[in-house]
Chains A and B, each alone.
Chain A
């Protein structure tokens, strides 16, 4: 490696480069936070407590452990960010209530023993997620 810069120069580039990048990242973060309200459907969260309740059910049952939500999560089971549009609320509730299928060899989903209220809340959460502006993702309804 050519010696046209010293170790101290390299160290200073590290400090300077890192500081610049951190500041730039924080700056873009601030801008993102300021424009988010136009795309993240947050007004719904304030007026509809079912959404917050539904997110807690989503978390406490670790749905992300098999499914993806907006493409993030596990790849064992279908994308659920757009399942509200793909299947509708009644199907979603009926599906969850009837698991496991017990079909031999088929990937199985546990029975979570959710109450009617919990199912409604979860469906509201999934509806809210389906309305987030995701820049046209996924490419089609299959998710």
Chain B
């Protein structure tokens, strides 16, 4: 690494991976509960396992973004981070807040947690992905402000690049949209309308800016391609993202009490949302094809290319499958939704965090790349996780299509629970594949401990 303060990224990356493991363990619990309905009941009811699974995901991805930002902003700005101390304090505040929240979820009934944390004074609990007590949410805002302050000052006082400009735009947007988590009207229609300003405008909006910037940074570093080319691609990608994704929010507004014109607006604009992901595939493969150096970190190159493909398939293609209103009428709120959600999150955000981690971790330890044995293990982890996720998605797609056929179409629709029993076969397949995913994750984690210091074997010298 070029600047000592980049080292603050390390704890963020470590915490991210620990929470990733927790996320997958609770995911496996849920997958089993789908078919063995009373598994761990009443100690860990499904909704509790679910909020741990989803919240762990979101927090570890945020930790990953923060680590990525603390790593790349000083390098891009060509100066030390404004306050490494603040970054470390913020890390502990975030980790402890997240830890206490999860302990809260697991140890007391949710209604008790609401009472203990004073939810009645400013009620923000009880909505999907926003299950955190209001106090935790306030903590998240403070953590975000600290991050933005630290990075913005570093950026303003140093060299400004397209990569850091887009990254900071994305991070400021992320913080701003999170404020809507405090908007919770009694009016259910308005509640849902503004809830999507957090969720959609995060994952189909500003998070894509963060993803694009991180991917561009890694590609500049590993391919050595002229920055001017990468800058232009990045601006095209994020333009496509926001132009399609802002009005594209309307694809969540079809059936929740909003005016019917959203069916047209949402369908038209969200149909374009795969475009930035398609552009990212072209961008990534083009850059690697035109590379000026053979970087010894082949694992990071694989992650970068894989991210663009899986994001396009999971977010772009699977998203497109159910985005048009006449289709969505039947698919809304089914296993098809879950199939898209899993592959989209994994392809876009899990993979981009693992990409920057793959690139930055050896650099943070004075190496250009991990040794060959480590990289081979890391790439095994990549393939096991990625192929598992593809099959998880395919099995949930099958489950979803069957569910839709049985429950929503035809002359004698089945009730929800009866339809669920009929599709249990696919849930078992999904769970088995989920175990393979965990094996992939463990293989990936092993790569941090085995063969790390050896020669990378290909490309340039190991020592930077």
Smallest beta-carbon distance A125→chain B, Å: 8
Closest to B34 in A: A76
Q: Report yes or no: B47 in contact with A70, Cβ–Cβ below 8 A.
A: no
Question: Is the CB of A98 closer than 8 A to any CB of chain B?
Answer: no
Question: Is the CB of B445 closer than 8 A to any CB of chain A?
Answer: no
User: Complex Cα distance A17/B47, Å?
Assistant: 40
Chain A positions 58-112 with a Cβ under 8 Å from a chain B Cβ: 58-66, 68-79, 100, 102-110, 112
User: Complex Cα distance A60/B329, Å?
Assistant: 29
Give the interface centre of B50, B126, B233, B333 by most chain A CB atoms within 10 Å.
B333
Q: Report yes or no: B42 in contact with A58, Cβ–Cβ below 8 A.
A: no
Question: Is the CB of A123 closer than 8 A to any CB of chain B?
Answer: no
Question: Is the CB of A117 closer than 8 A to any CB of chain B?
Answer: no
Option from B50, B250, B259 in Cβ contact (under 8 Å) with A35? B259
Option from B190, B238, B413 in Cβ contact (under 8 Å) with A36? B190
Question: Is the CB of B88 closer than 8 A to any CB of chain A?
Answer: no
User: Complex Cα distance A108/B247, Å?
Assistant: 39
Segment at the interface with A among B12-20, B353-361, B379-387, B414-422: B414-422
User: Complex Cα distance A32/B337, Å?
Assistant: 26
> Could you mark each residue 356-374 of chain B with 1 if its beta carbon is under 8 Å from any beta carbon of chain A, else 0?
0000000000000000000
Q: Report yes or no: A142 in contact with B38, Cβ–Cβ below 8 A.
A: no
Question: Is the CB of A51 closer than 8 A to any CB of chain B?
Answer: yes
Q: Report yes or no: A21 in contact with B41, Cβ–Cβ below 8 A.
A: no
Question: Is the CB of B69 closer than 8 A to any CB of chain A?
Answer: no
Chain B positions 305-353 with a Cβ under 8 Å from a chain A Cβ: 329-330, 332-335, 337-338
Option from B33, B189, B228 in Cβ contact (under 8 Å) with A107? B33
> Could you mark each residue 1-40 of chain A with 1 if its beta carbon is under 8 Å from any beta carbon of chain B, else 0?
1000111001101100110111011001001110110011
B107 partner residues in chain A, CB cutoff 8 A: none
Chain B positions 399-439 with a Cβ under 8 Å from a chain A Cβ: 407-409, 413-417, 419-420
B259 partner residues in chain A, CB cutoff 8 A: 31-32, 35-36, 39
User: Complex Cα distance A7/B37, Å?
Assistant: 55
User: Complex Cα distance A17/B242, Å?
Assistant: 8
Q: List 14 A-B contacts (CB under 8 A).
A: A1-B229, A11-B162, A14-B239, A14-B242, A24-B247, A56-B120, A58-B126, A60-B114, A70-B256, A74-B46, A76-B47, A79-B416, A102-B38, A107-B417
**Across chains A and B, which 3 residue pairs bring their CB atoms closest together, nearest first?**
A65-B47, A59-B126, A71-B333
